[in-house]
Structure formats: structure tokens, C-alpha cells
């Protein structure tokens, strides 16, 4: 299979945060109210089991605990904290806090990946957060400390998961489909008992809610996270995280186009700044590589197999994990 060109790879990876930007509209218009943990569970676990069935690969050795750690950071902790912050903070403040993710990743990347942040990277990260704040930040009001801490914790959790996913790579012969399936399943299993304990039995669903959950589980989660982890394996961690502001920008556009929400000149200016920062964040060294041919689907005719444990240096990892 021919390798994907870098612009095409960036565009495909960007589909993930664009899809996530539709989550707010789907949640408010289609789903039952006040069930954030159940929503997180339905997003993660069915999608993870579906990807596991398609990949037909189980972890092995150290990858059992690595998959659990990544699943907790990227899914199990991130989803509940994200919903908690959204419920407790006014307007788009949670999105503003989340937009500092590139700065978190820049700092973690310097420590764990050897990707030293440049002045341009730091300034671009500040510009992205500023642009997002112009788009989503509403009138000032009292900020809930728990909501702010939850928003920061969710951003830190996803940023750490992104950097560790980049650092650990994938076992030989394992593609992003399996990696996404492992993490979504682990995260969903982590959320399940919490959802049952806090929210009780699942709510009754009508056709509208069932359709909303189906969209979240398939397009918004299974496909989106497969593309996201595929991008992490080929791009630098900084490039990937600078695609994050596309999520609140998409949410604003969907709100305007589908929900009748107005966009002010200040918001339009903020969108231009944030989008410009996203584009600048993609410019830099790096090339689209995938020695594991991660874009291909494994044959479903094989029985279940386990991934080979990662050694000190997996085949091809020198190309995809700078600094190791």
C-alpha cells in the first residue's frame, strides 16, 4: 500500500476533532439529559468492542497494562472529566481550558519524546487558545472551581495519553484499529461501574436517542479515534494536538448552521485566529511514515491472535517516535 501523503494524512486526522465538534449538538438535541457517564459508556465500549472484532488482535505481555493506562487517560478519565466540566462551567469555558492542550503536549513532549518546543510552537499554542476563547467564551460569570479543575484534568489526561501513545508506538504488526479498540474497550470498562453507581440503571431510549447514540458510537468514536491514533503514529505529537481547536470551531459552525445560533464579528475573528494557529501548527519537520502499514485492515478469516510484546526497540519505531 502506498504511503499517505502528509497533507492527506493531516486532513484525515483532522476529521477526528471535526467529528468531536458535533458532540454537543447531538447530545443536546438527541440524547436524554443529565446522563454524562452513560453517554460516555455508550460512546466508548460498543465502539471498542467493534474495533476489536475488526482488528482481531489482543494485547500481549506489557501491552495489557499499556493499553489499560492509555485507555484510562484517553477515554476512561477523559470522558467523565470532560462532561463534568461541561456541566459545571458557563458557556464554552470548558473548550477554552481544553484549547491549552497544545501547550501541555509541548511540555510533555519535551520530556518524554525529545520534541523540544520552539518559540513558534509556544506562540502558536497561545494564539490557538486565544482564538478559541473569542469563539466560545460568553459573558463573564462566577467560575465553578470544580468545573475548572475538571477541565484542566481532562486536558492533562488527554495530552498525557497522546504523548504516551506516541512514545510507546505499537507492537510489531499491530495497526491503529487494534490500538483504538484496546483503549476504547479499556476506557469503557472503567466508566461502566462508575456510571452504574452514580447514575443508576440505563434510561429508556426512543428512536431519536438510539440514533444519536449510534452516531456517537460509530462515526464520532470508532472511526474518529481510529483516525486519531493513526495520525498520532505518523505525525509529531505537537502536530496532532494542534488539530484539537478544530473541535470547538466545528461546534460553533454546527450551532450556527443547524441550531440557529448567531456568530458575531468577534467570534468570526476568533475562528480565523484559531484556524490559522491550527494550520501553522502543522508546518514543520516531519514526514508521513507508517512502517507497520497501519492503515490496512487485518483479515477477518484469522482466529484471535495476540500482539507481540514490545521490546526495547520495536521495528520501525525510530521513524515514528522522535527522541527515543
Q: What are the pLDDT digits (tens) for 286-296? A: 444 443 333 33
Q: Return the CA Rg of the chain.
A: 19
The pLDDT of residue 324 is 33
The C-alpha atoms of residue 99 and residue 122 are separated, in whole angstroms, by: 13
Neighbours of 61 (CB within 10 A): 14
123 contacts: CB under 8 Å, gap ≥ 6: none
Question: In the structure grid, which three cell numbers stand for residue 298, read together?
Answer: 487485518
Residue 300 has pLDDT above 70, yes or no: no
**Mean pLDDT calculated for residue range 60-83:** 92
Whole-model pTM over 0.85: no
46-50, 132-136, 208-212, 298-302: segment of lowest average pLDDT: 298-302
The C-alpha atoms of residue 174 and residue 66 are separated, in whole angstroms, by: 14
Average pLDDT of the residues of the chain: 77
Higher-confidence position of 55 and 239: 55
The C-alpha atoms of residue 211 and residue 178 are separated, in whole angstroms, by: 25
pLDDT range class, residue 89, cuts 50, 70, 90? low
Residue 146 has pLDDT above 60, yes or no: yes
Cα–Cα distances in Å, from 240 out to 49, 145, 281? 25, 29, 9
Neighbours of 53 (CB within 10 A): 11
The pLDDT of residue 98 is 62
Question: In the structure grid, which three cell numbers stand for residue 304, read together?
Answer: 484471535
The C-alpha atoms of residue 99 and residue 192 are separated, in whole angstroms, by: 28
pLDDT range class, residue 20, cuts 50, 70, 90? confident
Q: Which residues of 91-122 are buried (b: 16+ CB within 10 A; e: fewer)?
A: ebbbbbbbbbbbbbbbebbbebbebebeeebe
Task: Judge whether 235 and 229 are in contact, CB under 8 Å.
Answer: no
Task: Judge whether 46 and 217 are in contact, CB under 8 Å.
Answer: yes
The pLDDT of residue 99 is 66
**Most confident by average pLDDT, 83-92, 209-218, 247-256:** 209-218
Q: What are the pLDDT digits (tens) for 199-221? A: 999 999 999 999 999 999 999 99
CA dihedral 133, 222, 15, 279 (to 10 degrees): 60
94 contacts: CB under 8 Å, gap ≥ 6: 82, 85, 86, 147, 151
Percent of the chain having pLDDT more than 70? 78
DSSP 3-state of 106: helix
Percent of residues in the chain assigned helix, strand, coil, to nearest 5: 70, 0, 30
Percent of the chain having pLDDT more than 90? 33
Amino acid at each position: 500500500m502506498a504511503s499517505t501523503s502528509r497533507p492527506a494524512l493531516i486532513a484525515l486526522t483532522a476529521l477526528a476533532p471535526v467529528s468531536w465538534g458535533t458532540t454537543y449538538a447531538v447530545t443536546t438535541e438527541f440524547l436524554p439529559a443529565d446522563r454524562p457517564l452513560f453517554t460516555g459508556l455508550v460512546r466508548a465500549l460498543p465502539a471498542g468492542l467493534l474495533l476489536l472484532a475488526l482488528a482481531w488482535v489482543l494485547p500481549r505481555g506489557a501491552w495489557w497494562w499499556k493499553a489499560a493506562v492509555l485507555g484510562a487517560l484517553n477515554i476512561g478519565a477523559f470522558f467523565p472529566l470532560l462532561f463534568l466540566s461541561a456541566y459545571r462551567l458557563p458557556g464554552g469555558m470548558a473548550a477554552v481550558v481544553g484549547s491549552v492542550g497544545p501547550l501541555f503536549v509541548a511540555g510533555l513532549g519535551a520530556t518524554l519524546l525529545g520534541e523540544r518546543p520552539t518559540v513558534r510552537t509556544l506562540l502558536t499554542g497561545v494564539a490557538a487558545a486565544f482564538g478559541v476563547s473569542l469563539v466560545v467564551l460568553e459573558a463573564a460569570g462566577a467560575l465553578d472551581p470544580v468545573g475548572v479543575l475538571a477541565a484542566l484534568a481532562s486536558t492533562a489526561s488527554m495530552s498525557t495519553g497522546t504523548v504516551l501513545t506516541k512514545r510507546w508506538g505499537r507492537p510489531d504488526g499491530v495497526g491503529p484499529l487494534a490500538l483504538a479498540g484496546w483503549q476504547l474497550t479499556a476506557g469503557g470498562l472503567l466508566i461502566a461501574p462508575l456510571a452504574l453507581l452514580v447514575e443508576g440503571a440505563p434510561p429508556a431510549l426512543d428512536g431519536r436517542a438510539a440514533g444519536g447514540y449510534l452516531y456517537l458510537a460509530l462515526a464520532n468514536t470508532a472511526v474518529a479515534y481510529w483516525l486519531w491514533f493513526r495520525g498520532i503514529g505518523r505525525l509529531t505529537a505537537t502536530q496532532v494536538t494542534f488539530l484539537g481547536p478544530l473541535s470547538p470551531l466545528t461546534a460553533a459552525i454546527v450551532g450556527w448552521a443547524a441550531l440557529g445560533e448567531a456568530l458575531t464579528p468577534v467570534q468570526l475573528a476568533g475562528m480565523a485566529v484559531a484556524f490559522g494557529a491550527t494550520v501553522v501548527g502543522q508546518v514543520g519537520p516531519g514526514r508521513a511514515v507508517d512502517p507497520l502499514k497501519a492503515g490496512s485492515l487485518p483479515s477477518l478469516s484469522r482466529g484471535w491472535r495476540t500482539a507481540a510484546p514490545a521490546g526495547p526497540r520495536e521495528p520501525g519505531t525510530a521513524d515514528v517516535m522522535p527522541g527515543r
